[in-house]
């Protein structure tokens, strides 16, 4: 087995390229941390909206409707409508 500059084994172990597996796992972990941070930011925005007197439940419904409208538009264009 050989080691790369970080000291990690770069040879395949049991048919698995250790560096590739480590890279995939670390990328997923970073994205999960980003998702956690973004979820917190969204929660803060909804708290801000509630503090301003807006109905958060309705805001969430509007966001859902806008997503549906976008998807509907994409499907219509795909069908030439």
- Domain definitions of the chain by residue range: 12-78
pLDDT tens profile 12-37: 666 778 999 999 999 999 999 999 99
- Give the least confident one: 4-8, 14-18, 53-57, 67-71: 4-8
**pLDDT, average across residues 43-70:** 98
Exposed / middle / buried, residue 17 (Cβ in 10 Å: 0-12, 13-18, 19+): middle
Q: Which residue has the higher pLDDT, 17 or 9?
A: 17
Q: How far apart are CA 44 and CA 27, in angstroms?
A: 26
Three-state DSSP at 52 gives coil
> Is the dihedral angle over the CA atoms 31, 32, 34, 35 positive or is it negative?
positive
**pLDDT, average across residues 42-51:** 98
């Amino acid at each position: 087995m050989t080691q790369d500059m970080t000291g990690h084994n770069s040879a395949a172990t049991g048919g698995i390229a250790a560096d590739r597996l480590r890279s995939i796992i670390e990328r997923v972990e970073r994205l999960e941390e980003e998702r956690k941070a973004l979820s917190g930011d969204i929660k803060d925005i909804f708290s801000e909206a509630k503090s301003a007197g807006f109905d958060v439940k309705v805001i969430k419904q509007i966001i859902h409707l806008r997503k549906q409208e976008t998807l509907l538009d994409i499907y219509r264009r795909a069908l030439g409508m």
